[in-house]
Amino acid sequence: MKKIFSLMLVAMLSLSAMAGSHEIGGVVGGMNGLSYKYWMGNNLAIQADLAVGLSTVAGGTYYQGSNLGNGSWSIYDFTINPNLVYNFNLPANFYLYAGGGCNFGLMSDLNNTNPNGVAGKFGINAMVGTEYKFNGVPLALAFDFRPGYGLGFTTADAPHASFFDWKLAFAVRYCL
């Protein structure tokens, strides 16, 4: 009796996982960490990532005291990136999606343009990508591109840096 009950419970959880509105998993690429997607309807979803990454910032400006500098530098960042995306249904379980959101967190300058070391980060980003959901398996694969513009900030000694930021990300998520 316990075996039958256990098998029925596993079967019900598996069926509900395939039809669910939550996806949770991991993301790798320009950002590495956790990924979560909540479907609010057939086409609208919120996707949030909690990740760390190593980036080369292109075309940035920074202030060091009262001096203005330009150029490229590398940052190591810890980012929370929530996005609102619209999904376009394609044949064969494919989706194209586009949207945008913000990113905020901490960043560490690896080229010492910031004498204080760790800075805060805030930015906006667009997002465009594709997702594939498997039939019969509660699994989704996604690949996206996230161009954005960011601001880094610290104390009064080195007030801020502005930069163009972009990420390529690949996600594998389990559908709940």
User: Using one digit for the tens of pLDDT, what is the confidence trace for 94-131?
Assistant: 999 999 999 999 887 655 555 555 678 889 999 999 99
Check whether 157 has a pLDDT greater than 80.
Answer: no
* Phi, psi angle pair for 5, to nearest 5°: -60, -40
Reference 119, options 105, 133, 98, 135; nearest CA is 105
Amino acid, single-letter form, for residue 11 = A
Q: Which residue has the higher pLDDT, 63 or 12?
A: 63
What rounded mean pLDDT belongs to the chain?
80
Check whether 163 has a pLDDT greater than 60.
Answer: yes
Reference 78, options 119, 113, 29; nearest CA is 119
Give me the numbers of helices (H) and strands (E) for the chain, helices first please.
1, 8
Alpha-carbon distances of 163 from 122, 146, 152, 156, 171, rounded to whole Å: 11, 14, 8, 19, 25
Check whether 48 has a pLDDT greater than 70.
Answer: yes
129: Cα within 13 Å, side-chain hemisphere: 23
CATH numbers and ranges of domains, the chain? 20-175 (2.40.160.20)
Q: Which of 27-41, 63-77, 97-111 has the lowest mean pLDDT?
A: 63-77
Check whether 11 has a pLDDT greater than 60.
Answer: no
